[in-house]
Amino acid sequence: MTNLRSTDRKPTRWLRVGIPVLLVLIWLVGGSIGGPYFGKVSEVSTNDSSAYLPSSADATQVQDRLADFTGGETIPAIVVIAGDGELTDAEIADLQGVTDAIGEVDGVSGDVSPPVLSEDGRAVQIFVPLDSTGNIDDIVGEVRDVVADDLPTGLDSWVTGPAGFTADLVAGFLGIDGLLLVVALLAVFVILVIVYRSPLLPVLVLLTSLFALCVALLTVWWLAKAGVVVLNGQVQGILFILVIGAATDYALLYVARFRESIGRGDTRWNATTSAWRGAFEPILASGGTVIAGLLCLLLSDLATNRALGPIASIGIVFAVLSALTFLPALLAIFGRAAFWPFIPKDGGTRIPEDLTKKQKGFWARQAGFVARHARPVWIISTVVLLIAGAGVLQLKADGVPSSDLVLGASDARDGQDVLAEHFPGGSGSPVYVIVPEDKIADAATVLAADDGIDSVAVTSEDSPTGQAGVTVEDGEAVLTTVGPPGAAAPTATVSDGDVLLVATLTDEADSVAAEDTVRGLRVDLDEELGEDVALVGGVTATDVDTNDTSIRDRTLIIPLVLLVILVILMLLLRSILAPVLLVLSVIVSFAAALGVSALVFNHVFGFPGADPAVPLYGFVFLVALGIDYNIFLMTRVREESLVHGTRRGILRGLFATGGVITSAGLVLASTFAALGVIPILFLAQLAFIVAFGVLLDTFIVRSLLVPALAYDIGKKIWWPSKLSRVPDDVDADTSAPEPMSRAEYRRTLES
């Protein structure tokens, strides 16, 4: 291949030194400003699941109006206290002191209920309304401490309910700012040291990733502060991993080009300009493809998905900028010293002229193997991937109970189990139904007739507990409550002509049975009251609406991402056939990754299922990032094909990019695997799917399937561009012809 050196005209010495120094200083300033924001993310993040639903969802509309009936925006916590046997009168009396102490906790909003004794007399539950605008995890933690301090000897306590689960979920994300970053960066550093056998170069690459993350986080923080995007722990963790992995991948591609130039004997400046020209197009195209795929999430009805699109895209933008400015500046300053002690020697990185003959080195032998067995290689690879993909039929991605979202110990989950033993399963997490005031009797009749409902009440300002029981007599609703003798009958709280019914579920609020009850109630209420007259909300309804919306998003966004990526590849490779085949290879690879993951989730880890968004996120990341490696490979193949012919260009492209793609794949898989240290089911599953899928992409799809398929097809892979019609001696004879210069080959194309 011709030596693509810079021209002899060079900028003055002070520019050759000043430009890199200036770029480094700019990034140092940005990183120093953004770094402290790692400890401030909690100020602008939220983990309230109802905040991510579309505004049109019933559960969202009910949530928005709850304060009109209850007098404040609260989230319920349930304190469950139980002993080994029936509670004594003395113990029950002592528990009133616990209730009083809970009421004094800062963040407890409204009246704490008295201890409610279970029918078996072995447990009590205390309903605690918490201010939803406060830090729920801190408030719940204080409530737990207060209860533990005042609890009578011999009794155990738990804090569960929506507030308890929120607190446990927030606690699960606590390692994101520290543990996740440390594990990810350490994994990347170890891999880079093994790959480059240099103490300095891995540091420069990690600085590229870390500074990109600092500036990206600074930008995202202020956008979240202004309310432009919604940030939660899940999105935050993905942002961290995505930026580190992508920036490192782009950095590896640039380093490979810089190493080639240094190996040809270029000066630092010439190596920098040559490497930048060679890396600019694939890095920009790769980043643009990932951004395009992520921005498709803007079409989601879930706010958390819509937020991930622009937030992750911002991260990719800074990853690309860092790889194309900060890293080149660092390498321009350090030059060959960055590779010490294994500095590339002049001529040491040249591509062998004939890779069809026996050569030394793994990638040279790999290229020869592909050339000799192209058709069997791509057929066998495809069959293996398709067999692995059959496991996707066992994927259970229709939602999981909120009690299973946190892996490991969970006080709220343990408390819910105890609650279900002694009380109706849905205690503390009721179904809320908003209906017109004149429909209260009809709605109460529907609710009471459902086997999934244990009891029905209505919010009432006149009631000491804030609720009054509802029964229906002769077609009229009768409200009852406990009060002093002679007290007036309670009346329902009315807001804009509507009332709020509160129905206690017989099953646990996050169970499949409870979800079926909510779905059935919506159908029955529409039939009895009329279409869209009643709004059904609450914790269970939120789960139902979230799962339904996630499935709708998955169906819409996945095909759109494929279409967008296909168009980008067509523009990049000036071909139709090659992009179609590349996208098909990514689909097969994703199916295989998802199929194997389903088997592992079900039979190795014993997971209860998966959120419907898991396949969507896995698809977006695997396809977008998998296309990165396609771009790294095929842009180099096209570059080599312009000079050496298609089949020879494929082998040279495989040889030139094999090492960098493998290194990049290992780095990306390691960074996503680091998500597994966060004890959240969604992130653990996403970590496995993406990490395994990236390795599959790296070692099978990019190293065997794609080059073998392209080699078997030959120059027609570039159809319908001119490159597909130019005579190629290598297509007919695998002996290596004398390479043409780029100018000679372009003249051949034009003729």
- In whole angstroms, give the CA distance from residue 118 to residue 422: 6
Q: How far is it, in rounded angstroms, from Cα 211 to Cα 231? A: 20
Cα 420 to Cα 158: distance, rounded to the nearest angstrom: 13
pTM of the model: 0.81
The pair phi, psi for residue 5, each rounded to 5°, is -85, 165
Closest CA to 539 of 562, 557, 515: 515
- Residue 466: left (phi > 0), alpha (psi -120 to 50), or beta? left
| CATH superfamily label, 67-172 | Multidrug efflux transporter AcrB pore domain like (3.30.70.1320)
Given a contact cutoff of 8 angstroms between Cβ atoms, the answer to whether 714 and 696 are in contact is no
Q: Give the torsion through C-alpha atoms of 309, 315, 318, 323, to 10 deg.
A: -110
| Mean pLDDT of the residues in the chain | 83
Spell out the residues 6+ positions from residue 705 whose beta carbon is closer than 8 angstroms to its own.
Answer: 377, 378, 381, 382, 385, 585
Terminal-residue alpha carbon distance, the chain: 21
Kindly give, in sequence order, each residue whose CB lies less than 8 Å from that of residue 558, ignoring residues fewer than 6 positions away. 616, 619
Q: Are 605 and 256 in contact (CB under 8 A)?
A: no
Q: What is the pLDDT of residues 305-331, one digit of tens each?
A: 888 889 999 999 999 999 999 999 999
The DSSP letter of residue 6 is P
Q: What angle do CA 630, 634, 636 make, to 5 degrees?
A: 125
Beginning with the edge strand found earlier in the chain, give each strand of the sheet holding 498-505 in spatial order: 476-480, 467-473, 453-459, 498-505, 431-436, 535-538
Mean pLDDT of 488-516: 86
pLDDT at 728 over 70: no
pLDDT at position 445 over 50: yes
Strand, helix or coil at 399?
coil
Domain boundaries, the chain: 1-43+198-350, 67-172
Q: Which two tokens stand for residue 555?
A: 């169906």
What pLDDT does 9 receive? 57
In Å, how far are 20, 330, 600 from 13, measured between CA atoms? 12, 16, 58
Q: What is the pLDDT of residues 677-719, one digit of tens each?
A: 888 888 899 989 999 999 998 889 988 999 999 999 988 988 8
Which residues does 264 contact at the CB level (< 8 Å), separation at least 6?
A: 3, 5, 346, 347, 349, 350
Q: What secondary structure letter does DSSP report for 423?
A: S
Sign of dihedral through CA atoms 240, 244, 249, 254? positive
Summarised one tens digit per residue, pLDDT across range 423-437 is 887 777 889 999 998
Contact 406, 679 (CB under 8 A): yes
Residue 29 has pLDDT above 90, yes or no: yes
Q: Beta strand 74-82 with 467-473: parallel, antiparallel or unpaired?
A: unpaired
pLDDT of residue 511: 85
Please tell me the number of Cα atoms within 13 Å of 80 on its side-chain side: 25
- SS3 label, residue 485: coil
Cα dihedral 163→165→170→172 (10° resolution): 160
Question: What is d(CA 288, CA 17) in angstroms, rounded to the nearest whole number?
Answer: 30
Structure tokens at 317: 């933008």
Tell whether the model's pLDDT for residue 738 goes beyond 50: no
Q: pLDDT digit string (tens) for 353-394?
A: 767 777 777 888 888 889 889 999 999 999 999 999 999 988
Tell me the average pLDDT across 719-725: 82
User: Any idea which of 170-179, 200-209, 462-471, 706-715 has the lowest mean pLDDT?
Assistant: 170-179
Give every CB contact of residue 721 below 8 A, 6+ residues apart in sequence: 574, 575
Res 732 pLDDT > 80:
no
> How high is the pLDDT of residue 481?
66
Q: What is the pLDDT of residue 741?
A: 47
Q: Are 346 and 266 in contact (CB under 8 A)?
A: no
DSSP state letter for 151:
P
As given in the structure block, the two tokens for residue 447 are 């609710």
Fold classification of 1-43+198-350 is Multidrug efflux transporter AcrB transmembrane fold (1.20.1640)
C-alpha–C-alpha distance, residues 23 and 231, integer Å: 30
User: Scanning the structure block, which residue is given the tokens 């920098």?
Assistant: 272
Residue 736 has pLDDT above 50, yes or no: no
Residue 505: alpha-carbon gap to chain centroid? 32
| DSSP string for 235-269 | HHHHHHHHHHHHHHHHHHHHHHHHHHHHHTT--HH
- What backbone phi and psi angles, to 5 degrees, belong to 490? -70, 160
Is 307 in a helix, a strand, or coil?
Answer: helix
What is the 8-class DSSP label of residue 125? Answer: E
- What pLDDT is recorded for position 464? 67
pLDDT for res 4? 42
- Is the predicted pLDDT of residue 734 greater than 50, yes or no? no
HEC letters along 321-390? HHHHHHHHHHHHHHHHHHHCCCCCCCCCCCCCCCCCCCCCCHHHHHHHHHHHCHHHHHHHHHHHHHHHHH
Token reading at 682: 């969604």
